[in-house]
Amino acid sequence: MKIVDKINKALEDDRCFWSFEYFPPKTQQGVMNLYDRIERMCKLGPLFIDVTWRWGGRSSDLTLELCSNSQTVYGVEANMHMTCTNTNFGLIKDALEKAKDQGVQNVLALRGDLPDGTVEFDPSVGEFKYATDLVKYIRSTYGDYFCIAVAGYPEGCLGPEDVDRDIQYLKEKQDAGADIVVTQLFYDVDNFMAWVAKCRLAGITMPILPGIMPIQNYGGFKRMTELCRIEVPQEIWNRLEPIKDDDQAIKDYGIEVAVDMINKMKAGGVRGFHFYTINLERSTRLVLEKLNFVPAVSEVRPLPWNPSLSEKRAGENVRPIFWRNHARSYIKRTELWDEFPNGRWGDARSPAYGELIHGVQVRLPADQALRKWGTPESVDDVTSIFVQYCQGKLDSLPWSDTQLQAESTAIQNQLAQINGAGFLTINSQPSCNGAPSSDKVHGWGPSNGFVYKKAYLEFFVSPANMQALLGRLATAPTVTYYAVNKAGELFTNCSEDSPNAVTWGVFPGKEILQPTIVERVSFLAWKDEAFDFWNAWSKVYSEESPAAALLRGICSDWYLMNIVENNFQSHPEAIFELFDGLGSQTKA
């Protein structure tokens, strides 16, 4: 979808909105971390994100990859930066064709920096001199397919003497077919508001989004404002000087400045705000929280998982619960499907899941993993790591890069207890009997609906503990389960392969939605990934070490098990009563 349409709708509703900018990291580890950050920050409800661009090597391909995956995996519209200086029609057309093929419909057209410190355009090298040339080319070649954003400079591109000329250029970009303006960062709100007024007098009618960069540290702020020729009000320098060596105080003050700026612009009628995140999360999140810019549940969670914006997945509204923390993997393994479940799961035997080509990876570098998880040399050591995660003392496991889902904090103590007994959980949800769809923890879907959930647990378990638990489950008629080891030996009390809905919602004027299911074929496909994380974790240590041998042994000998308490009316702790007295408790 073109973001200008979303912006115009928000403006029509007189509703504030915000967007985030990221840049492509230089390392694969950095890319993985950025994906995790984008996923988390999508919960803050951005109208769109955008990703910066650099020609040559992997950079431009990575920009497109980040944009495409953000739309396909995380369900957020992406705006792809594109620079044109010293490029030619062939390069630009190739990049735009790739973007179109991958469903990216939004482009921020920029001139870009001239190479090697040069200051003049070289017609023998490139066919585009200004961003206006790129806007004209995109519009003439692709019609209305792309939403075209352009840059605005409230303090002039090269300095204040350029402001009036830059406004003239901005009007030319609009006349060439541009749709929206995203401004360079600034800190003088009065100057920005005066500049907007000048733009309107010049006939510029495009939506203008002010660029906001919360201050992160003194040195970086000073360099950035000097590089971009940004005028900083003296009051800000006065406040920064006494705390310039205290990074935390600088960050806190940066949040205060951003909040004050946005409140002032909001009072002046501005409704959209573009955050230059520099790939950081905390300051942007806190600014939004202090402004009470909290999106409605129906906006950020139309389903319990992020719906893809991929055209071929349009209408998809059912997924297995197993990939809850691994959406990218699920998208990848199902990308060749011709159809995606809509309304019901159907026959999961066809089409098949794609294979794990490259295996799984622990997201942390080895040194960070060692600091976080230590060097386990016994099952009790491993158990202790899982318990600490459930208690919030650790913020990640190999199977999950973030802390417990918000809904699972209600059963945090029970999770810690069964993990201490040797049932190592990697996925869970508490039961829920008719919570409003607007509920901040359990809610999802359209307004004025009600959501329901069956209690679900997924965990690794030793053969001995599994057998003891199976004895309990034999006398629990409302509980269903699957258990499988790495070799594929399966235990279950489900007589049929039909899917079991573990989440559903009832909404006015709609059929009942059942977006999350448990199902045998999907579980057997997921187990390969789940077990592979043990091997990935073992590679943090030397191959001959006791820690590596321990983790490989768990991988080969233990079972992956899931259980569903189908009586959703039972209290959320009921499923944990099945574990009373089983295993042996390990303290964190």
Active site residues: 21
Report, in angstroms and rounded to the nearest whole number, the Rg of the chain calculated over CA atoms. 26
Residue 299, class by beta-carbon neighbours within 10 Å (0-12 exposed, 13-18 middle, 19+ buried)? exposed
Nearest to 358 by CA among 329, 334, 387: 329
- The strand pair at 500-506 and 17-22 is best described as unpaired
- The strand pair at 208-212 and 180-185 is best described as parallel
Nearest to 171 by CA among 120, 132, 139, 141: 132
Taking the C-alpha atoms of residue 428 and residue 405, their distance in angstroms, rounded to an integer, is 9
- 351 cis-preceded (ω within 30 degrees of 0): yes
The H-or-E segment that residue 65 falls in is helix 59-72
Cβ-contact 63, 24 below 8 angstroms: yes
DSSP letter at 322? Answer: G
Nearest to 101 by CA among 307, 310, 308: 310
CA dihedral of residues 304, 310, 315, 320 (deg, nearest 10): -40
Taking the C-alpha atoms of residue 257 and residue 98, their distance in angstroms, rounded to an integer, is 40
* DSSP 3-state of 151: strand
Cβ-contact 402, 327 below 8 angstroms: no
The H-or-E segment that residue 533 falls in is helix 520-538
Cβ-contact 49, 21 below 8 angstroms: yes
DSSP string covering 193-258: HHHHHHHHHTT--S-EEEEE-----HHHHHHHHHHTT----HHHHHHHGGGTT-HHHHHHHHHHHH
Structure tokens, 178: 């541009």
Say which residue the tokens 């080319």 belong to: 137
Taking the C-alpha atoms of residue 212 and residue 283, their distance in angstroms, rounded to an integer, is 11
DSSP letter at 311? Answer: G
* DSSP 3-state of 329: helix
Amino acid occupying residue 270: V
